[in-house]
Amino acid sequence: MEGLVMPPIQEMFRGKRVWVSGHTGFKGSWLTEWLLQMGAIVHGYALEPDTTPSLFDLLGLRYRIGHEVADIRNAALVRSSIQEFRPDYLFHLAAQPLVRRSYAFPVETYGTNVMGTIHVLESLREISHPCSAVVVTTDKVYENLESGRAYEEADPLGGRDPYSSSKAMAEIATAAYHNSYFQNGLVRIACARAGNVIGGGDWAEDRIVPDAMRALDGAGIISVRNPAAVRPWQHVLEPLGGYLLLASKLGSGATCAESFNFGPREDSNRTVADLVTEILKHRKGKWIDASQPGALHEAKFLNLSIKKADRVLHWRPVWGFETTVEKTVEWYQGVHAGMGANGICNRQINEYTLQANLLIP
């Protein structure tokens, strides 16, 4: 695979049929917009957006793609959607993505993240045409001993909370399906693990950036739950670029039935306090420590090794910590000032892809 000569990435997706689960979410909306910009034919499968506003609606995506409102836990609907659309590429992003919510709703979390993934895998098992599939999991799939060492793809999987363990289980199921059913070459599949993703257009509850933006639009005081927690912060376009590159490598016929970390440079592993302090360089306000004794467990330290993605895929992060925060705040300020989300998203996609050298003409 190393040394493989690849055509420009936009040529890999132009005119191709791409099925995306979770397309109404934050990452899914950015990915869908990027695919449309490259000329792909996109079919999305997801529940309606769970926030108001939502990036999905601001981008008008329901009118620009095949928009199917359905639950990933419904095996029959997943099967018929994939069978009828006949995708060349598939990105599985649909998930219950919040750690704290997983404590309150473990059955929903396992049903969505584990069985939803199995429904996608089972549908892929039945297709009769080539398809390259990327199953998106998380950096939290690892058995996190909080040792300070960067986790590598071969490290043991684990997960102390329902969310993290459900994503680890989804990866184990994906590997089992590859080994059991995807040896004929029709389905080429890989898993993608990303760090803590931030960027414009996220309005989810219980995430630090949207919580901060809501606070700054209101009283101007950001309540921070775990200010000393260290996370691999990265702009949403970084892992999405990795997913697209990984899918294009799979689509070229390369064997990539593995997992890949897509994280930031080492100097972007910063505390939550560092993140909100950087945000406040662009917005007026302040933050306070709102940590509570006896709160639900959340990892204090998480770091990813991205050596494999660099070595095998020739992928490496482009935007550092400061640029990531700047672009994120720029997006929210632009929309708040009345600029169209489409224009801001497409400008940032163009800026990123030029710097990442992903769309060489």
Does residue 262 belong to any structural domain of this protein?
Answer: yes
**Which pLDDT score, from 0 to 100, does residue 3 have?**
39
Dump pLDDT digits (tens) for 61-90: 999 999 999 999 999 999 999 999 999 999
Nearest by Cα to 57 from 95, 28, 94, 99: 28
**Which pLDDT score, from 0 to 100, does residue 25 have?**
97
> Where is mean pLDDT largest: 82-91, 149-158, 264-273, 282-291?
82-91
**Look-up of token digits 């101007």:** 220
Residue 98 buriedness (CB in 10 A; 0-12 / 13-18 / 19+):
middle
Positive or negative, the CA dihedral 259, 265, 268, 270 is: positive
Positive or negative, the CA dihedral 345, 263, 164, 21 is: positive
User: Any idea which of 70-84, 132-146, 245-259 has the lowest mean pLDDT?
Assistant: 245-259
**Which pLDDT score, from 0 to 100, does residue 294 have?**
60
User: Any idea which of 116-120, 179-183, 197-201 has the lowest mean pLDDT?
Assistant: 179-183
Q: What is the rounded distance in angstroms from the CA atom of residue 192 to the CA atom of residue 309? A: 10
**Which pLDDT score, from 0 to 100, does residue 268 have?**
85
* Structural domain count, the chain: 1
Does residue 235 belong to any structural domain of this protein?
Answer: yes
> To the nearest 10°, the Cα dihedral for 15, 17, 22, 27?
-30
**Which pLDDT score, from 0 to 100, does residue 144 have?**
85
Does residue 3 belong to any structural domain of this protein?
Answer: no
Q: What is the mean pLDDT of the chain?
A: 91
Q: What is the rounded distance in angstroms from the CA atom of residue 343 to the CA atom of residue 323? A: 19
40 contacts 349 by C-beta, under 8 angstroms: no
For residue 223, give the CATH number of its domain: 3.40.50.720
313 contacts 238 by C-beta, under 8 angstroms: no
Does residue 123 belong to any structural domain of this protein?
Answer: yes
DSSP character at residue 295: P
Q: What percent of the chain has pLDDT over 70?
A: 93
CA 32, chain centre distance (Å):
12
pTM: 0.94
Does residue 2 belong to any structural domain of this protein?
Answer: no
Does residue 4 belong to any structural domain of this protein?
Answer: no
Q: What is the rounded distance in angstroms from the CA atom of residue 47 to the CA atom of residue 116? A: 13
Mean pLDDT of all residues in 20-37? 98
Mean pLDDT of all residues in 314-320? 93
**Which pLDDT score, from 0 to 100, does residue 295 have?**
58
Q: Residue 6: pLDDT above 80?
A: no
**Look-up of token digits 């897509």:** 262
Helix, strand counts (H, E) of the chain: 14, 12
Q: Which residues form the domain of 47?
A: 9-356
